[in-house]
């Protein structure tokens, strides 16, 4: 009899420890899921991720303190897991719906009262509602963290109740299971959850909470009250979880339609980033406009991408002495590559971190809706399938070392990276990075860098030029042009010796390849800036590796623009 009791106690205790590890796994996934999703919709990636994680950690501590107020640990635990599963499953959908609604509400009011587009109501209560909607990720992070924080104290009390006495090593056992479970959760997030839709990831995680609560309910039902209602709660929540898993992606897409203000026609999550295509129908027999977003930020619009890419590529290529061997860093959409191939190079090497992005633009017919795939193939001119193109899927910061070891030399280097909106991108705008590129560039070659907006992020723009110059480039200049989808945009161009790019281009009467937009006169004017633009240049700092200086300049500019936007 005593042996049976010991065995039962061992089974119960092992089950509790397993449940604790499972809940820790769920807790960490919720933490990553919410911070990842919030960063995507709020935009300020690094700040939002750290803020969400910090809020959840603090609120978990508060939840641990509050757990002592729960009189019945058994009953409280089952109810707690129901609530955690419900919030964890539905949080991202709720956030997306409220933010999307807040974005479209001014338009709905304007349509109801037949107001013109330039008189959209955005102040007063609407502004407050919009502000509140943007705080929802932080609110959910606090609530979810608070509830998760109650789990460990409740499990600890339950173990002591089962044993019937105080356990000397109770905390160590519980925390051991918690740490191991959290580690497993991190691995699941990186290896699996990042590759599926965010709503499916939330539903699967909530399922673990639900199963843990249900197993606990069945095993320890003698300690519980109102079991019938608890079972009904589990059943209803199971239906919700299945619905979110099955239809959450479509719901999310409909809410993203509101968030992006255009119809979302394709979205996917790669291990590196979230990719979204939107479509805007113009009517009147005009072609629709397709926009491409990475992590919620516009990368190009089919309406005017030719302006950006022609200004990125052709001034550098026209001013270079040769065009035989070209290096493109970034540019995984193949549009800069399209322009480079017009110069009939012998070889082009393109370095981009995300193989899924490149695959999407190389073979759009395999993933995209037919009408979108046709448009993308036309935009890229099938550039990735050119036999002269070699794609390297690697971190450019590491990949260029391999090119140096191979003693590669390039006639032009085109850098088409996203803005330095994340510390991981900041290193690709550093003196260290440009100095190594200097050694990859032919003596009479030209390097050009996408340099964000000289109007919206002036300090960041100037810092890029100073950083390139600090990397031992002799001639460094900047130019700009209005790209309607982006506003005023700019580039930095550099050479190692001889005349500057603007001087070289001044000698040319025409561009040597066919273009849609750019002309010699447009290029000439692009090198001129407004009065006083560089007056504070001496105060702008160079972006050294590890300083995050450029990231900070860009972040402050982004925050300022967000505050000023209606």
Same domain, 339 and 224: no
What is the CATH number for 523?
A: 3.40.50.150
Domain range holding 517? 303-564
Same domain, 251 and 273: no
Which two tokens mark 548?
């995050």
Q: Which of 178, 333, 352, 416 is flagged as catalytic?
A: 416
- C-alpha torsion angle, residues 374, 380, 381, 387 (rounded to 10): -120
The three-class DSSP label of residue 159 is helix
Non-local (6+) Cβ contacts of 505 within 8 A are 315, 318, 319, 520, 523, 524
Quote the pTM value: 0.77
pLDDT of residue 267: 84
- Look up 12 and say whether it is catalytic: no
pLDDT of residue 564: 45
**CA 301/CA 426 separation, integer angstroms:** 25
Single residue among 276, 297, 318 that ends a domain in this structure: 297
Which two tokens mark 16?
């509790």
Same domain, 293 and 357: no
**CA 134/CA 130 separation, integer angstroms:** 6
Exposure class string for 468-493: b at 16+ Cβ within 10 A, else e:
bbbbebebbbbbbbebebbeebbbbb
Same domain, 136 and 235: yes
Same domain, 242 and 318: no
Same domain, 386 and 448: yes
Which two tokens mark 108?
């709905």
Radius of gyration of the chain (CA): 28
Same domain, 19 and 167: yes
Exposure class string for 367-387: b at 16+ Cβ within 10 A, else e:
bbeeebbebbbebbbbbbeee
pLDDT of residue 566: 44
Same domain, 278 and 250: no
Same domain, 275 and 322: no
**CA 296/CA 276 separation, integer angstroms:** 8
What is the CATH number for 116?
A: 1.20.1250
pLDDT by residue, tens only, the chain of 566 residues: 566 777 878 888 888 899 999 999 999 999 988 888 887 767 666 678 888 999 999 999 999 999 999 999 999 999 999 999 999 999 888 888 887 777 677 666 766 666 555 555 666 777 787 778 888 889 999 999 999 999 999 999 998 888 777 777 788 888 898 899 999 999 998 888 887 888 889 999 999 999 999 999 988 888 888 889 999 999 999 999 999 988 887 777 676 666 676 888 888 878 788 889 999 888 777 889 999 998 778 899 999 999 999 999 999 999 999 999 999 999 999 999 999 999 999 999 999 999 999 999 999 999 999 999 999 999 999 999 999 999 999 999 999 999 999 999 999 999 999 998 877 889 999 999 999 999 999 999 999 999 999 999 999 999 999 999 999 999 999 999 999 998 999 999 999 998 999 999 998 889 999 999 999 999 999 999 999 999 999 999 999 998 889 988 998 887 776 554 44
pLDDT of residue 271: 78
Same domain, 188 and 275: no
Single residue among 260, 289, 312 that ends a domain in this structure: 260
**CA 418/CA 397 separation, integer angstroms:** 14
Count the domains in the chain. Answer: 3
How many helices (H) does the chain have, and how many strands (E)? Answer: 19, 11
Query: Which secondary structure element, helix H or strand E, spans residue 350, and what is its range?
Result: strand 347-351
Same domain, 310 and 175: no
Q: Which residues pair with 280 in a beta bridge?
A: 289
**CA 369/CA 179 separation, integer angstroms:** 44
Same domain, 307 and 288: no
């Amino acid at each position: 009899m005593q042996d049976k009791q010991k065995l039962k106690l061992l089974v119960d205790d092992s089950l509790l420890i397993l449940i604790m590890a499972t809940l820790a796994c769920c807790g960490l996934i919720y933490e990553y899921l919410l911070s990842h999703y919030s960063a995507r919709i709020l935009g300020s990636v690094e700040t939002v991720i750290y803020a969400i994680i910090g809020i959840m950690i603090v609120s978990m501590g508060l939840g641990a303190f509050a757990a002592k107020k729960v009189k019945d640990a058994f009953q409280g635990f089952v109810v707690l897991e129901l609530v955690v599963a419900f919030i964890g499953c539905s949080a991202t959908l709720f956030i997306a719906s409220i933010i999307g609604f807040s974005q479209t509400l001014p338009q709905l009011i304007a349509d109801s009262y037949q107001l013109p587009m330039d008189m959209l109501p955005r102040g007063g209560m609407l502004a407050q509602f919009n502000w509140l909607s943007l705080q929802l990720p932080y609110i959910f992070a606090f609530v979810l963290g608070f509830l998760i924080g109650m789990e460990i104290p409740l499990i600890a009390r339950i173990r002591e109740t089962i044993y019937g006495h105080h356990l000397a090593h109770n905390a160590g056992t519980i925390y051991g299971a918690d740490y191991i479970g959290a580690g497993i959760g991190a691995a699941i997030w990186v290896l699996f959850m990042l590759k599926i839709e965010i709503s499916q990831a939330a539903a699967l995680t909530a399922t673990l909470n639900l199963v843990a609560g249900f197993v606990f309910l069945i095993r320890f039902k003698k300690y519980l009250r109102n079991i019938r209602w608890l079972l009904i709660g589990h059943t209803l929540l199971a239906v919700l979880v299945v619905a979110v898993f099955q239809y959450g992606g479509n719901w999310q897409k409909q809410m993203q339609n509101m968030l992006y203000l255009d119809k979302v026609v394709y979205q996917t999550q790669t291990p590196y980033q979230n990719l979204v295509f939107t479509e805007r129908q113009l009517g009147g027999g005009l072609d629709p406009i397709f926009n491409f977003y990475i992590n919620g930020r516009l990368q190009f619009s089919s309406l005017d991408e030719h302006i950006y890419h022609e200004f990125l590529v052709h001034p550098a290529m026209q001013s270079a002495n040769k065009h035989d061997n070209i290096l493109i860093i970034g540019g995984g959409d193949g549009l800069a590559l399209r322009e480079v191939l017009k110069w009939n190079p012998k070889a082009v090497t393109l370095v981009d971190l995300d193989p899924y992005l490149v695959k999407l633009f190389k073979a759009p017919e395999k993933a995209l809706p037919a009408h979108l795939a046709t448009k993308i193939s036309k935009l890229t001119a099938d550039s990735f399938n050119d036999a002269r193109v070699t794609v390297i899927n690697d971190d450019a910061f590491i990949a260029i070392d391999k090119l140096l070891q191979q003693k590669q030399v390039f006639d032009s280097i085109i850098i088409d990276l996203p803005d330095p909106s994340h510390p991981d991108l900041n290193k690709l705008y550093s003196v260290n990075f440009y100095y190594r590129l200097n050694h990859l560039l032919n003596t009479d070659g030209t390097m050009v860098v996408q340099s964000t907006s000289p109007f919206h992020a002036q300090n960041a723009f100037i810092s890029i030029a100073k950083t390139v110059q600090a990397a031992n480039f002799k001639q460094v200049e900047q130019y700009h042009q209005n790209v309607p989808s982006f506003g005023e945009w700019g580039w930095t161009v550099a050479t190692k010796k001889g005349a500057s790019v603007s001087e070289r281009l001044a000698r040319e009467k025409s561009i040597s390849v066919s273009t849609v937009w750019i002309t010699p006169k447009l290029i000439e004017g692009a090198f001129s800036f407004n009065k006083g633009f560089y007056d504070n240049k001496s105060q702008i700092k160079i972006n050294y590796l590890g300083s995050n200086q450029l990231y900070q300049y860009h972040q402050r500019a982004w925050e300022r623009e967000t505050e000023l936007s209606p």
